[in-house]
Structure 1
Amino acid sequence: MPSSRTDLPSFAAALGDRLPGTWTSEYHRHAAYEDQFPLAEQVWDLAHVDWAVSEFVLQHDAVLIGPDEQRLYVIDRPLHRDQFLVAPLEPDDDQVKSHHFVGVSEPNGIAVPADPVRAAMRVARRLLPRYQRALIAVFDNALSQPEPPHRPAPPQVSQVVTLTWYDDGALGVPYASVPEEARMPLYAHGFQYHPHQAAFLLPAAYGDTGRALRIQAVAQQLAAHGIGVNLRHFPAAPAAAQPALTARPAIGPAVPSPTSSALHR
């Protein structure tokens, strides 16, 4: 960026004198590039003022402090020596937190001519009204929701159904671990009972999308009855080079089949 102009402090003071209400001007000269960050990070703008402060070394700036916690940031406009940039700053209030800005549109800054009279008219007409609306919205949010709206933890449940992706691609749950109240919802949403595997299994023929929709529906219905639903893999961390197994050896040892046991006896 070319060398900074020398008329910024006088322009900022003259601009403040012509704005509605009482405004004071503070001028800051930057000894190092990092000195611009404390104020630049408070700029309430997602347009060309944000671009200017992020892309150029600003050798100085000015702040106009006005009524109702309004603060205006004034800098040279890069590459336009006949103009300045004026942008609102976020409120400097310990009660205002980041979540209070959610849903509030940035008031954004504007470019103004180097003539303080014309610049003041443009700021008063175009910038201050939307800045004041944004401040009111943020302060209202701070009053109505002082703390962040953190999501509460889910309630504890006494019964849980753990659906399992097995390493052979089967998706289901051993019959013995299914609470009685959960059996009919599983069956109603496509889970089929396989006696020789002692498990409810969801057919692969439904496809990934179909199975995902049925899992979601089961989870919603069981949650309404106070039953939690987990989804896990078995084994938890299969080795990359592990050979594929058939369905019966993979599931059989983990969940002994009552029918097989009876035959052995």
Structure 2
Amino acid sequence: MHHHVDRERLASFADVLAGELPDTWASDYHSPKHKDDLAELTERIWDLDLVAESLAQHPLRHAAVLTRQDGAQLAILDRYDERDGFLIAAVAPRSLPDEAYSGVPEPNGIALSDDPFLSAELVAGDLLARYDAALAQARYNAAATVHPSQPDRIVLTWQSDGSLAAIQVSDTASGVLTRNGFVHDEQTGIYRLMGNDTFEQARAVREAGRQLSAQGIDVALQHPSGRIAPTAAPPTAPPAPATVRSTTARGR
């Protein structure tokens, strides 16, 4: 068992594993001093079984994150039992709203030995297959919650976590949205503006609305009820975001 932080052991394992998995993966090590990154990673672990149980008993002190070219991520954690090796878990994309995960089975993580070559075969044949299926369903769900825009009208749809989302926007509108803080998810085509800071969110929406109007593009808000409220300019302040439940390891 390894109860101390062993950077070299974890980082080296992750580097080799990344090179053995199908497709192209990059490995990034998060040391104990990266407390904010580790806290966010804990929230995004997509697991309700083995890894969630481990995190409940052993808070994350360091980790390695593998990132695929399409943005999919896997987290490698220390394993606290009588065997050497690690735990590996899928990471939920931050770009998708919470409701996108409704009804999607968690691609629960698995335990690995300390042999990265054998582990790569296990991950590719088990966890990755379940993760890719869950990602595809979540991305489909996310797109279904966003009202499509039109060439001369951008529709911003409220999400349950207080964010605003748009989809099917023109190249001109895309540039305006991204310059004003909207994050584009290439897999779904969704542009999303978080609502953690409602004052900043309102400012970004107002500025985006002004720039879009100058290009002859109107802005409309899609309320949770499904009724579209046409607006030449966005509201001065969006409603407060819904409270999001926080757990030790987020179950989707």
**TM-score, normalization by structure 2:** 0.55
Superposition pairs of residues 6-45 of structure 1, within 5 angstroms = 6-31=8-33, 36-45=38-47
- Indicate the residue corresponding to 2:72 in structure 1: 70
Offset from partner CA, 1:176-211 (integer Å, 9 cap, x none): xxxxxxxxxxxxxxxxxxxxxxxxxxxxxxxxxxxx
Tell me the amino acid that sits aligned with residue 48 of structure 1: L
Equivalent position of 2:175 in the other structure: none
Which residues in structure 2 correspond to 1:210-221 (within 5 Å)?
none
1:80-109 CA distances to partner (integer Å, 9 max, x unpaired)? Answer: 45110010000131xx10111101010110
For the 8 Å contact 1:69–1:92, the answer to whether it is kept is no
Say whether the 8 Å CA contact 1:63–1:71 is kept in structure 2.
yes
Deviation at 1:67, TM superposition (A): 3.1
Amino acid at match of 2:105: S
Structure 2: which 5+ residue stretches go unaligned?
147-156, 161-223, 228-252
1:39, 1:50 → 2: CA distance?
Answer: 12
In structure 2, distance between residues paired with 1:55 and 1:118: 27
> 2:218 — aligned with what?
none
Number of the residue aligned with 1:143: 143
User: Secondary structure of 2:44's match?
Assistant: coil
The answer for the alignment partner of 2:194 in structure 1 is: none
What percent of counterpart residues are identical?
36
Length, aligned pairs only: 151
- State yes or no: 1:123 paired with 2:92: no
The corresponding residue for 1:163 is none
Query: Is 1:33–1:58's contact at 8 Å kept on the other side of the alignment?
Result: no
* Alpha carbons of structure 1 residues 79 and 32: separation in structure 2 relative to 1, 3 Å: farther
Contact 1:83 1:113 in 2 (8 A): yes
The equivalent residue for 1:84 is: 86
Unaligned runs of 5+ in 1: 154-265
Please tell me the root mean square deviation across aligned C-alpha atoms, in Å.
2.2
Deviations 1:114-139 (A, max 9, x none): 10000000000000011001000011
1:11-35 Cα deviation digits (max 9, x unpaired): 0010000000000000011138776
1:73 aligns to what SS in structure 2?
strand
- 1:3 maps to a residue whose letter is H
Contact 2:30 / 2:37 at 8 angstroms: preserved in 1?
no
Q: Residues 1-265 of structure 1: matches in 2 within 5 Å? A: 2-5=3-6, 6-31=8-33, 36-93=38-95, 96-146=96-146, 147=157, 148=159, 150=224
Structure 1: distance between partners of 2:39 and 2:56: 9
Change (3 A) 1:59 1:68: same
Distance in 1, Cα, partners of 2:69 & 2:36: 29
What is aligned with 1:248? Answer: none
Structure with the larger helix share: 1
Q: Distance in 1 between matches of 2:121 and 2:135?
A: 21
* Structure of higher RCO (CA pairs closer than 8 Å, 6+ residues apart): 2
